[in-house]
Amino acid sequence: MSLPQLNTSEVSQEPEVVILQPQDTDESPEPTDKPILENTSTAEPNTYEASQEPQALILQPQDTDESPELTDKPVVENTPTTQPNTSEVSLESQVLILQPQATDESPEPTDKPVVEKIPATQAAAADSSTTRTRIVLPLMTPPFGQQNQSTLASSAKTARLHGNHFGQPAPSEVSVRAAGGHAGHFRMPKKNSSRNLWITLLLCVVLLATLYFGCAIYFKYHFAFNTYINGVNCTFMKPEQVNERLRIQVLSYQIEVYGRGDIKDKIDGTSVGLVYVSDNQTKALLQGQNIYYWPLYLFQRPEPEYLRPRVELDELRFSDYINGLACMDPKLMAPPLDAYIVFEQPNHIIYPEVLGSTIDRFAAHRTIREAMLSTESTVDLDAADCYMLPRLFSDSPELLELIEVYKIYAPFSIEYTLGSTSVLLEASTIMNWVTPGVTTPGELDYNAVIAWVDALADRVDTLGRERTIINGYGVEKTVTGGTYGWRMDRRAEVEAILSACREQRHEVREPYFINRAASLDGPEWGGTYAEVDLTDQHMWYFENGVLIMDCDVVTGLPDGFNDTPEGVYYIWSKLSPTILIGSPDPVTGEPIYRSPVQYWMAITFGGVGFHDATWQWAFGGSHYLYYGSHGCVNMRYYDAQRLYSYIQMGCPVIMHF
């Protein structure tokens, strides 16, 4: 096929570049609307021949007024390359560039070749005043020595065709080098290396993105790097695995219980039936984990998480075990004491409170239980206020205010002498009788004073109370009632205290008594007394602890009307002689008896006393059961005479069974 000659006069001053884009197929492009390369040479190409006579691609444009229009398919002919006539070539010739079909990064090929204007200086360096035509064709490289023009156009990736081998410009010719041709006529495009670099970078980005999002999905169900829960490294663990670790921790759980006085106990969780109960805490921690920050956890350790595992215990076993702790032992407990004020010349001093060690069992059980359910390692019962506290502390406002009032009553004191002992009433005591803001200086709480006097009287009074005695036979007996003993005048004592307090007096004295006895030390009857044993029907008389006399007697008939009364009495009357007159007869109104006696010693105000009874023919034993008196203690005449001579007014008489 022959190519029409280009009219150089019709070529534009600025050459156009036409880019032909064939389809990119595996072997050769399908001949469609794209340009076709034909090899007019039938002989096998030789490398040396190709370098001497390069193939020329002549683009045949249409005859137009302005520029030739390319036909639908350019034709390639193998023509000998000769020196072109420079006179027939315009200053700037057209260059036709054939480009392979675009990839993903290149634009879609069009049906027509693209014309670019390229300066002639880039086409050839031989003649700077002219340009030559360059056409880039895709070439597939067949095996060496088997290529022709048709395979040349379909196998090469990119071929740059330029002037002849000798460097002279050829506006209408294209030098094409086959796979086995001279190296000076073919160059691999630089665009492929850049494209490969971009493909490599794209693959790296895809791999990194896959790794990143894959790990993010993984850490949606697993804990990330450096995750510590309750001191356990939980990296890559699922919540179920963490729960199992927590269950094992609970099995080995122990808590130390501290009490006052360096008391320390240790409780094993298994001793009280402590077990782990799985819940959603670990799942909540996992859900709170930011899965997209997982790379940061490789270098930055997150804050350790601490869970309070949900546990349960056996309430019955727990209660029994806690009650057996050393801190719960009542023998080791001391009661709390309030702070108080004392007067020590010349200052008023607040003695601090004593906390003691009496534990509040309910509070201790509650505190230890809560600590174990929270899996605490230690619990301090003192810090948790599990001990009974004093009512007043050294910094209590009540005490600080009382010190000011105390100054008013400080000079006051009463020392009560009680035999060989004494009781001191001073300002530090009566301070408790002052109500700040209610009582005025010099006035005390009247009821508080009465209460203190009652307490003192209960300590001193013996009248009418049950007492013990060792009888003349050396046997201990119990006696109740009577008219002899100590009895304090409580009303008079209250007034005396209030008076001494107002006048700020110091006194040393006995309390005021209504009834007095022989002694405030030991038995109130002292060492001189008469004793009657109503069971043995015998009497004794002691003087200063020495037995003076004893004898058998006859007491009252035990019929419920004439019984001799039990109790401690005293001799309140002595007569010699006298007539004993009985109670009036309900029928006649006359006394039931009139009995003259020589010695009368009255014991009770109801008419019971010692006297001689000459009408009794026997004494002692069980005689009183049948011939008992009307209540008096009958004696032989000479026994009554002797007793009358010894016994004195006020002498105690103790009658007991």
Q: Is the per-residue pLDDT at 554 higher than 90?
A: yes
Average pLDDT over residues 303-308: 64
Q: Which residues contact 97 (CB under 8 A, 6 or more apart)?
A: 17, 18, 19, 20, 113, 114, 116, 134, 135, 136
Render the burial of 374-384: b for 16+ CB within 10 Å, e for the rest: ebeeebebbeb
Please state the φ and ψ torsions of residue 479, each to the nearest 5 degrees: -130, 140
Residue with more model confidence, 372 or 163: 372
pLDDT score, position 550 = 95
Residue 435: band (very low, low, confident or very high) from pLDDT cuts 50, 70, 90? low
User: In one letter, which amino acid is 406?
Assistant: Y
Q: Which residues contact 506 (CB under 8 A, 6 or more apart)?
A: 411, 412, 413, 414
Q: What is the pLDDT of residues 611-635, one digit of tens each?
A: 999 999 999 999 999 999 999 999 9
* Alpha-carbon span 627 to 617, nearest angstrom: 10
Judged by phi (left if over 0) then psi (alpha if -120 to 50, else beta), residue 210 lies in alpha
First to last CA, the chain: 169
Q: What is the pLDDT of residues 188-245, one digit of tens each?
A: 555 678 888 889 999 999 998 898 888 888 888 887 777 777 667 777 788 888 877 7
Average pLDDT over residues 602-616: 93
pLDDT score, position 490 = 94
Given a contact cutoff of 8 angstroms between Cβ atoms, the answer to whether 391 and 426 are in contact is: no
336 prior amide bond cis, ω within 30? no
3-state secondary structure 202-266: HHHHHHHHHHHHHHHHHCCCCCCCCCEECCEECCCCCHHHHHHHHHHHHHCCEEEEEECCCEEEE
pLDDT score, position 104 = 42
pLDDT score, position 636 = 95
Q: Is the per-residue pLDDT at 146 higher than 50?
A: no
Given a contact cutoff of 8 angstroms between Cβ atoms, the answer to whether 51 and 185 are in contact is: yes
Q: Which two three-digit tokens encode residue 104?
A: 């993903």
Given a contact cutoff of 8 angstroms between Cβ atoms, the answer to whether 11 and 94 are in contact is: yes
Q: What is the pLDDT of residues 485-539, one digit of tens each?
A: 999 999 999 999 988 887 878 889 999 999 999 998 888 899 999 999 999 999 9
In the three-class reduction of DSSP (H, G, I as helix; E, B as strand; rest coil), residue 351 is classed as: strand
pLDDT score, position 19 = 42
* Alpha-carbon span 541 to 549, nearest angstrom: 5
Residue with more model confidence, 300 or 445: 445
**Could you write out the DSSP letters of every residue in 483-539?**
S-S-EE-HHHHHHHHHHHHHTT-EEEEPPPEEE--S-SSSSTTTT-EEEEETTTTEE
Q: Is the per-residue pLDDT at 455 higher than 90?
A: yes
User: In one letter, which amino acid is 211?
Assistant: L
CA distances for 484 relative to 479, 543, 636, angstroms: 12, 17, 26
pLDDT score, position 308 = 65
* Alpha-carbon span 42 to 10, nearest angstrom: 33
Q: Is the per-residue pLDDT at 653 higher than 80?
A: yes
User: Radius of gyration (Cα) for the chain, nearest Å?
Assistant: 68
Q: Is the per-residue pLDDT at 167 higher than 50?
A: no
User: In one letter, which amino acid is 506?
Assistant: H
Q: 129-138, 183-192, 361-370: which has the highest mean pLDDT?
A: 361-370
pLDDT score, position 239 = 81
pLDDT score, position 67 = 41
Following CA atoms 369, 374, 380, 385 in sequence, which dihedral angle do they give, to the nearest 10 degrees? -60
Residue 49: band (very low, low, confident or very high) from pLDDT cuts 50, 70, 90? very low
Q: What is the pLDDT of residues 349-360, one digit of tens each?
A: 788 888 888 999
* Alpha-carbon span 32 to 22, nearest angstrom: 9
How many of the other CB atoms lie within 10 Å of CB of 26? 5
pLDDT score, position 126 = 40
Cβ-based burial of 202 (10 A; exposed 0-12, middle 13-18, buried ≥19) = exposed
Q: Which residues contact 402 (CB under 8 A, 6 or more apart)?
A: 341, 431, 434, 436
* Alpha-carbon span 436 to 434, nearest angstrom: 6
Q: Is the per-residue pLDDT at 649 higher than 70?
A: yes
* Alpha-carbon span 165 to 106, nearest angstrom: 32
Average pLDDT over residues 126-130: 41
Residue with more model confidence, 561 or 53: 561
Q: Is the per-residue pLDDT at 84 higher than 60?
A: no
pLDDT score, position 487 = 94
pLDDT score, position 274 = 86
Q: What is the pLDDT of residues 379-389, one digit of tens each?
A: 999 889 999 98
Q: Is the per-residue pLDDT at 578 higher than 50?
A: yes
61 prior amide bond cis, ω within 30? no
* Alpha-carbon span 546 to 529, nearest angstrom: 10
